[in-house]
Amino acid sequence: MCGIVGYIGFKDAIPILMEGLKRLEYRGYDSAGIATISDNGVQIYKKAGKVAELSKYIEANGISSQMGIGHTRWATHGEPNDVNAHPHTDCTETISVIHNGIIENFSTLKKKLEQNGHIFKTETDTESLAHLIEEMLKHTPDLFTAVRLALNEVEGTYGIAVISKNEPDKIITARKGSPIVIGIGENENFIASDAAALISHTRQVVYLEDGEIACITKDGFYTKTIFDEEIKKQVEEITFDLEQIEKGGFDHFMLKEINEQPETLRNALRGRVLTDEGTSKLGGLSEVTDVLMNARRFIITACGTSWHAALVGKYMLEQYAKIPVDVEYASEFRYRDPVIYKDDVVFLISQSGETADTLAALKKAKSAGAHVLGLVNVVGSTIARESDAGIYIHAGPEIGVASTKAFTSQLAVLSLITLMMARKRGMSQADGRQVVRELLKLPEKVNKILKDINQIQQIADTFYSHGNFLYLGRGYNFPVALEGALKLKEISYIHAEGYPAAEMKHGPIALIDNEMPVVVIATKDSTYEKILSNIQEVRARRGRIIAIANEDDDHIHKLAEHVIRIPHTLDFLMPILSIIPLQLLSYYIAVKRGCDVDQPRNLAKSVTVE
């Protein structure tokens, strides 16, 4: 996601900041900017696009300074343009702020600040922080205290850096849920959101913990908690190399992204559940709630993994929101003559927001007069811009070509839409509260699955040389079978088919012999008994069964050769858990086969041609 770098010392800060920003490029971003302080006050240079663009712009302006902060932005609130790029400033342009994360209560803060006369210039959540610090500076003369007090008002996540023209000898930085590391030099110090940005200057670092704030000068630093408690920090030595840091210590981006899912799920849910009311609040859809509730039907159209998410969405929306849902491959939808009514709502699901077929489907739906809503990851992407309204899934940049974290975030957001509509269609508050409770437990449950990978690795070792796999599931786990098979195909080049388990006897059962691995998703839901019968059918033909089952299932190990255990949740949320072991299984099989996991042959991350 976004990146932060900062320098204060005796050298020219600009090349150090620009090098730091370049090192953060791998995280994905859509605009970049820096702020420094000179005799004329705070100077901000920012641009949509690549760091190279920003470099040209800065060179043309010929600036130099011995301190500054820099940012690469991956948009969450507001399009990726020059104005929304960080740094942001207050009304008097005294301070400058860069921020990673999401300020959840920014609309409330913004409203209050506007009532107090603050003028906002951007669509970002971050700008509210700049004005809030300005407000605090009316009550305290020093920047450190003003930032500390401001952070007490903020809900959400942040890694921030703040400078002020009135105190040009310091950078204030703080973290909650978004990392900050301080780099210790001699007569110079650094900050970054990621050690990659400072490793070429120093290996001596201090990691901030959540709720901590630090003041960095060229000679040293001090830290407190945001509640004003003194804390002592340990200086540590970085032992990783640059490539390991970029991948967060994981061997591949895909594995890093699989492991990010507890956090990306939290981001998808953040600020969107109303615990007491037992419902959800989706800002992007607030203007179109009536349109949703009065729709004749939903059509969800997408490609690849996003199409699988759409299929889970159909199951949950029909069951709870009581609306008919058609799921369409965008490439088919665009070229046939579908009946589209004016009171249809057409949802486009796309991680990249740029997939050519999905975009064409959007245009077709729009020209037929339907309402067009986007469920997109990349903010400001074409599909996001061309939709009538929409919701971002906030999964952060996905670099591995095979989609993982975007899928679970798409499912989380579809669950929120389902909950909101279901509550308006008769789901009781008590049931709504239970859904909310279960949604909020998902990140921890995913974490649990991710911690227990030994067995998945052993299964990968056993089966990696097999040429075919079958994936079976029923109900909510049928789309998971499709997605599990797709993951395996994409990155290991093993032929794999996903099937509704009962449909197996109409064809694929002919393939089963004692060489055939059959992955069966058999969690304890309303189809559990039925899928046990399907497992028996595979057993009778000596197929090699790998079952994904719940922790308390004390029967399934008698039927399956291998059982991967996952926690319980509500049936309609189960795909968010049951896909995780399948992502890991594909990953470890592909690694064992020596495949290029992050960039599999013939595939593209964003398919912008039809």
Indicate the residue among 264 and 358 with the shorter CB distance to ligand G6P: 358
CA distance 582 to 50: 35
Task: Kindly list the catalytic residues.
Answer: 2, 605
Which of 303, 321, 491, 538 lies at the binding interface for ligand G6P (CB under 6 A)? 303
Place of tokens 């037929």: 368
Which phi and psi (to 5°) does residue 606 adopt?
Answer: -125, 115
Place of tokens 């959007």: 362
Q: Calculate the CA dihedral of residues 206, 212, 216, 220 and round it to 10 degrees.
A: -50
Indicate the residue among 540 and 604 with the shorter CB distance to ligand G6P: 604
Indicate the residue among 138 and 601 with the shorter CB distance to ligand G6P: 601
Q: Interaction with ligand G6P in 325-384: which residues (CB under 6 A)?
A: 350-352, 355, 358
Q: Which residues have CB under 8 Å from 441's CB, separation 6+? A: 569
Smallest gap from residue 262 Cβ to ligand G6P (A) = 21
Indicate the residue among 178 and 306 with the shorter CB distance to ligand G6P: 306
Smallest gap from residue 459 Cβ to ligand G6P (A) = 23
What distances in angstroms separate CA 456 from CA 173, 213, 462, 585, one per listed residue? 40, 40, 10, 6
Smallest gap from residue 408 Cβ to ligand G6P (A) = 13
In 258-312 the beta strands, taken as DSSP E runs, fall at 273-274, 279-280, 297-302
Query: Given strand 389-392, what is the order of strands in its sheet?
Result: 325-329, 297-302, 344-350, 371-376, 389-392
- Of the ranges 229-237, 401-409, 412-420, 458-466, which one interacts with ligand G6P (CB under 6 A)? 401-409
Q: Interaction with ligand G6P in 449-478: which residues (CB under 6 A)?
A: none
Which of 306, 331, 477, 586 lies at the binding interface for ligand G6P (CB under 6 A)? 306
Indicate the residue among 80 and 432 with the shorter CB distance to ligand G6P: 80
Binding mask 417-456 for ligand G6P (x = CB under 6 A): ----------------------------------------
Q: Examine residue 603 and tell whether it contacts ligand G6P (CB under 6 A).
A: yes
Which phi and psi (to 5°) does residue 394 adopt?
Answer: 55, 40
Q: Which residues have CB under 8 Å from 230's CB, separation 6+? A: 224
Indicate the residue among 479 and 543 with the shorter CB distance to ligand G6P: 479
State the CB neighbour count (10 A cutoff) for residue 220: 10
Q: Examine residue 403 and tell whether it contacts ligand G6P (CB under 6 A).
A: yes
Which of 304, 380, 475, 484 lies at the binding interface for ligand G6P (CB under 6 A)? 304
Smallest gap from residue 335 Cβ to ligand G6P (A) = 17
Smallest gap from residue 569 Cβ to ligand G6P (A) = 24
Exposed / middle / buried, residue 339 (Cβ in 10 Å: 0-12, 13-18, 19+): exposed
Indicate the residue among 31 and 306 with the shorter CB distance to ligand G6P: 306
Are 135 and 109 in contact, with CB atoms under 8 Å apart?
A: no
- Of the ranges 29-37, 174-182, 299-307, 361-369, which one interacts with ligand G6P (CB under 6 A)? 299-307
Q: Examine residue 385 and tell whether it contacts ligand G6P (CB under 6 A).
A: no
Q: Examine residue 608 and tell whether it contacts ligand G6P (CB under 6 A).
A: no
Smallest gap from residue 13 Cβ to ligand G6P (A) = 37
Q: Examine residue 401 and tell whether it contacts ligand G6P (CB under 6 A).
A: yes
User: Pairing state of beta strands 325-329 and 297-302?
Assistant: parallel
Indicate the residue among 128 and 306 with the shorter CB distance to ligand G6P: 306
Q: Examine residue 409 and tell whether it contacts ligand G6P (CB under 6 A).
A: no
Are 523 and 578 in contact, with CB atoms under 8 Å apart?
A: yes
Tokens of 337: 């003559």
Are 480 and 575 in contact, with CB atoms under 8 Å apart?
A: yes
Place of tokens 């509509």: 421
- Of the ranges 395-403, 421-429, 513-521, 584-592, which one interacts with ligand G6P (CB under 6 A)? 395-403
**C-beta nearest to ligand G6P: residue:** 304
Query: Given strand 3-8, what is the order of strands in its sheet?
Result: 41-48, 31-38, 67-73, 3-8, 189-192, 181-184, 204-207, 236-237
Q: How many residues line the site for ligand G6P (CB under 6 A)?
A: 16
- Of the ranges 149-157, 248-256, 398-406, 571-579, which one interacts with ligand G6P (CB under 6 A)? 398-406
Q: Is 385 helix (H, G, I), strand (E, B) or coil?
A: helix
Smallest gap from residue 333 Cβ to ligand G6P (A) = 13
Binding mask 61-90 for ligand G6P (x = CB under 6 A): ------------------------------
Q: Calculate the CA dihedral of residues 325, 326, 328, 330 and round it to 10 degrees.
A: -60
Which phi and psi (to 5°) does residue 52 adopt?
Answer: -60, -35
Q: Examine residue 498 and tell whether it contacts ligand G6P (CB under 6 A).
A: no
Q: Examine residue 607 and tell whether it contacts ligand G6P (CB under 6 A).
A: yes
Residue type, 30: D
Indicate the residue among 193 and 331 with the shorter CB distance to ligand G6P: 331
* Residues at the contact surface with ligand G6P, assessed by CB under 6 A: 303-306, 350-352, 355, 358, 401-403, 603, 605-607
